[in-house]
Structure 1
């Protein structure tokens, strides 16, 4: 159980609504659909109504700072079945990357790989008290594209299972401590960090909170959002308003 899952949920009943993809950028077909993730009649391009309103606010702010730039939607609503599919897929891919055979893993190897997977992926729980963030319709994975649709380089791809995914990985102070001997030039690290800061600033200004381990993941009104707000001030909201849908 992750710390944010202890936050109680009082479901507000707000509907899931489609994200207007003419306003934002998006990959088509959706990356997980290409892998045959079982969405059924549901779509990954949905959010809670209030969350979408805040995302539109973030998009408007981005346009003021960088005319023509757009938020690119990587993933939003994720049914439990898709969460389970992607956890299983990530586990299998990680096993292969390690040069191992899935049916020959020791108990220790399986546990170690699952720990890596669950550092970034939420457990696909059907318990209404502990829903994965994306299964609430209140979490979204995003990046930025420029005026001609070219993705802004954030220094690592979405869903990478490494420390490069941490939001502040390329920040100067963090880098000096974690990667003192790396050959990446300081100017390049600064560029990656600058781009991540643009994303962070437009999203937090619109009321979102950023996942501690994922530069691309933002949410509003779910358990993780409340837990992160509480880290800033104990006087803030103590109950999540979005549960599993």
Structure 2
């Protein structure tokens, strides 16, 4: 596959985004939503308290995800690892990564917070300034093909420079395996961005639509506020 490179001029993703104005759009389950979309709720399988066996997204984000899946070559699917994420799960992830940094010898709290900010959004119950996954507009995903999940260079939730979306674009003389990983990331990036999502540059698997981070990159207004709990009909 001859796939264009992932562009280097990604917008500054550290800028302070505007508060979200909630549009009232419902969330939908992704199981059975499209034959080109599979789910593997990673945090549920890892046993995180509060994690759901289903993956949910806002209706508009789900529609765009189906569009992205339709852009894949025949025989390929998107595999969704996480969508809407409760405050409980977000808090658990944040504290777990914090403790792992401390175990590695990090002692300066300011430096710890800065490192955390790169990879795990600070938990928030502010509905106008939610963490991305609390809005239902953020999705973590990969691609599967005829021979299984595509090689992406790292596992999901790898907190290293290898996880940066463009990491394999910067290798001057890539090996055959590195070219394969680079092209797989390119495929995911281009189908998702063509469908209207934006990528978080530190994580090849993380894409957003309608969120505050998406608004910063697209110069639009965010319209997905926070959702603190699932409707009873979805639980």
- 1:190 maps to which of 179, 191, 199: 179
Q: Which runs of 4+ in 1 moved over 6 A?
A: none
From 220, 224, 228, the counterpart of 1:242:
224
Residue in structure 1 matched with residue 171 of structure 2 by the alignment = 175
Q: Which has the larger radius of gyration?
A: 1
Indicate if the aligned counterparts of 1:46 and 1:76 stay in contact, CA closer than 8 A. Answer: yes
State TM-score, norm by structure 2. 0.82
Match of 1:9 in 2: 20
* Unmatched segments (≥5 aa) in structure 2: 1-12, 228-235
Per the TM alignment, residue 128 of structure 1 is displaced from its structure 2 partner at its CA by 2.4
Q: TM-score, normalised by structure 1?
A: 0.79
Q: How many residues align?
A: 213
Q: How does 1:14-93 map to 2 (within 5 A)?
A: 14-21=25-32, 23=35, 24-27=37-40, 30-39=41-50, 45-62=55-72, 66-93=73-100
Q: How does 1:133-148 map to 2 (within 5 A)?
A: 133-148=132-147
Query: What is aligned with 1:208?
Result: 197
Q: What does the per-residue CA deviation read over 1:65-115, in whole Å, with 9 as the maximum and x for residues that have no partner? A: x2111101111110111110111122223444x2x5xxxx74x1x443332
Moved more, 114-123 or 46-55: 114-123
Considering only aligned residues, what root-mean-square deviation do their CA atoms show, in Å? 2.2
Residues 18 and 222, structure 2, Cα contact 8 Å, conserved in 1: yes
The answer as to whether partners of 2:85 and 2:136 remain within 8 angstroms in 1 is yes
Q: Does 1:114 align with 2:97?
A: no
Gaps of 5+ in 1: 177-183, 231-236
Match runs of 1:119-134 below 5 Å: 119-134=118-133
Asked if the contact 1:152/1:195 (under 8 Å) is kept, the reply is yes
Question: Measured at CA, do residues 168 and 201 of structure 1 come closer, stay the same or move farther in structure 2, by a change above 3 Å?
Answer: same
